[in-house]
Amino acid sequence: MNKLNSYTRIDIMDYLRGFALLGILLVNGYQAMGYLSNTNELHQVLYDIFNRKFYPILFFLFGFGCYLFMNRSNQKINNRYPLFLRRICFLFVLGLIHTFYAPLGINDVLMVYAVLGLFIVIFFKRNKWTNLIVTVTLIALSIVTAFCQPPYYDEFIVWLYTLSYISQWFSLVMLGYTMGQFKFFENVYGKLKYISIFLIVNICTYVSLFFVRKLEIHPVVPEILESYTVASIIASSFLIILQWDKAKMILTPLKFYGQMSLTNYLAQSVLLIVFSIIIGFTPINSLIVCFIIHAILITFSIVWLRYFKMGPVEWLLRYFTYWSKIPNRKKSVRNDLESV
């Protein structure tokens, strides 16, 4: 069973998860504060910037994680599908629990993962080119359905709006899985030329969308396109920045934060509740609370991963996936304790 879990982590994924968690807390904190009828102009500006910009990264990483789970070369087993279904069922249960205890205004993403995971199973045995066509089709569908919306918010067609965002979420999951099939993240630093071109194209697209939004031609299409472009800009920028060792060293706390992303995602809501009880959310301290929570969880992640291989909730996910106890304490630490 140990061999089933001995795989090389792709660091860039952890950096991206950690960075996404920074933005998600700012968004969730603002939404929780909004239910208390408080306003904070600076926090609102950050909310407008970050809203719908970081969840696309997590959807992409979930899809890539599905690929890693189903295609690890050292998993010489034939029952991967039951394991995967057990895994997403546990995510659904976690999401359900999170929905009950999370502050009002916060939308859970884990149940969405689980539902999309049921659909992505269909494409596990499809070749990479078929999945690429499906991904491009879903991206086009999300844009076309958004464009078919009436140009005014008060005339929204609900089913078109829903279809547009479901297509967007699923396209991002499929994109992550398909990029795994294309082995994109193997020797990724040898592809910096193409990544740089991709980054420039997305920056130009985002600047164009900025002016389109100012014209107020259409309410939804710019939001959909911005989600794709901003997520692409963030991911491309990290791929370029992290080729320098100094950048990796400076951003190492984000890596630890992202390595325990599931634990920290759930813990963010717990700490939001704790701080709302202790000091309350007011326009003055809403951002301060978010920064304190980040500091607490990043510190906790660094300390925890000195002694353990994975976060506590990640360990539970592994346990329920394989239905077997998996050693989590690092060997060096265990040996030190035994010697004492």
pLDDT at residue 333, rounded to an integer: 47
Q: What is the pLDDT of residues 98-150, one digit of tens each?
A: 998 887 778 889 999 999 999 999 999 899 999 999 999 999 998 888 777 77
pLDDT at residue 218, rounded to an integer: 58
Give 131-190 as a DSSP string: HHHHHHHHHHHHHHHHHTS-SSGGG--HHHHHHHHHHHHHHHHHHHHHHHHTTTTTTGGG
Which of residues 270 and 46 earns the better pLDDT score?
270
Which of residues 43 and 338 earns the better pLDDT score?
43
Distance CA 246, CA 252 (A): 10
**pLDDT (mean) for 206-231:** 73
pLDDT at residue 79, rounded to an integer: 74
Q: Is the pLDDT of residue 7 over 80?
A: no
The closest of 24, 19, 58 to 168, measured between CA atoms, is 58
Q: Is the pLDDT of residue 317 over 60?
A: yes
Q: Which of 45-54, 99-108, 243-252 has the lowest mean pLDDT?
A: 45-54
Q: What is the pLDDT of residues 159-189, one digit of tens each?
A: 787 888 899 999 999 999 999 999 888 777 7
Amino acid at 302: I
- pLDDT tier for residue 3 given thresholds of 50, 70 and 90: very low
Other beta carbons within 10 angstroms of residue 37's beta carbon come to 6
pLDDT at residue 244, rounded to an integer: 86
Q: Which of 59-68, 164-173, 272-281 has the lowest mean pLDDT?
A: 272-281
**pLDDT (mean) for 11-39:** 78
Q: Is the pLDDT of residue 319 over 70?
A: yes
> Contact 30/48 with Cβ under 8 angstroms?
no
How much of the chain exceeds pLDDT 90, in percent? 40
Q: How far is CA 246 from CA 162, 227, 238, 249, 276, in A?
A: 43, 29, 13, 5, 37
Q: What is the pLDDT of residues 71-88, one digit of tens each?
A: 874 455 567 888 899 999
Q: Is the pLDDT of residue 311 over 90?
A: yes
Q: How far is CA 42 from CA 26, 48, 127, 145, 284, in A?
A: 11, 10, 47, 33, 10
pLDDT at residue 88, rounded to an integer: 94
Which of residues 229 and 44 earns the better pLDDT score?
229
Average pLDDT, the chain: 82
Which of residues 273 and 76 earns the better pLDDT score?
273
pLDDT at residue 73, rounded to an integer: 45
Q: Is the pLDDT of residue 17 over 90?
A: yes
- pLDDT tier for residue 155 given thresholds of 50, 70 and 90: low
**pLDDT (mean) for 239-258:** 90
pLDDT at residue 138, rounded to an integer: 95
